[in-house]
Amino acid sequence: MLDLPLEYALVEFKGNKFSGKIVPELLDLADRGIVRFVDIVFIQKEKDGYTRTIELNDIDQASYEMFVPIGKHVTSLFTEQDLAIAAGKLPKNSAAVLFLWENLWVSNVRKAILGVGGSLIERGQIPPEVVKEFKQELAAEKKKKPAAKKTAAKKKPAAKKKSSAKK
147-156 pLDDT per residue, tens = 555 555 555 5
40-74 pLDDT per residue, tens: 999 999 999 999 999 888 888 877 777 777 766 67
Query: What pLDDT is recorded for position 88?
Result: 95
- Among 42, 121, 103, CA closest to 78: 42
Helix, strand, coil content of the chain in percent (nearest 5): 35, 20, 45
Stretch 132-147: mean pLDDT: 86
Q: Please report the pLDDT score of residue 43 as a whole number.
A: 95
Give the pTM: 0.69
Partnered with residue 97 across adjacent β-strands are 11, 42
The CA distance from 65 to 69, in Å, is: 8
